[in-house]
Amino acid sequence: MPLNPAFAGRVYPATTPYRIGREKIREFAEAIGDTRDEQAAPPTFAIALTLRAEVAVVSDPELGLDMTRLLHREQRFDHRRAIRDGDELTVTVTITEVDRVGGTDVVTLTSDLRTVAGEHVCTTTSTLIAQGDD
């Protein structure tokens, strides 16, 4: 069954705030082989927050995405500033595109990371594909 195209443009509520700590930054940096200062997170650290929020969106049964056939096609990060120790961030996910190309479902998600005070820290863009039943 193809994806529900009416989901394009849908904005999901912001997640509960996530407090960034030095230990989480250090663990993530070690996992990817980054030796930077533990005050500022590696640029890809944003995925640790956005992935949870995006999985909740694509798991929505009304969207119709087959999670058993899901592939992560592309990921982009657009930082306004580094994510830092002590930040309290929320994630708001928007489904920016829903398409079907040659029997493959394509969903593009844009996730905005903001401080609890509303400062825009980062925007991520994820493109996901799932082979359809065709």
Mean pLDDT of the chain: 92
pLDDT tens, 80-121? 999 999 999 999 999 999 999 888 999 999 999 999 999 999
What is the span of the domain harbouring residue 111?
Answer: 5-131
Per cent of the chain over pLDDT 70 is 96
pLDDT tens, 33-54? 988 777 899 999 999 999 999 9
Number of domains, the chain: 1
Q: Cα separation of 102 and 131, whole Å?
A: 9
Domain at 14, CATH number:
3.10.129.10
pLDDT for residue 134 is more than 60: no
Nearest of 6, 5, 3, 7 to residue 94 by alpha carbon: 7
b vs e for 89-123, b when ≥16 Cβ sit within 10 Å of the residue's Cβ? bbbbbbbbbbeeeeeebbbbbbbbbbbeeeeebbb
- Residue 88 structure tokens: 């309290």
pLDDT for residue 19 is more than 80: yes
pTM over 0.85: yes
Give residue 129's pLDDT band: very low, low, confident or very high (50, 70, 90): very high
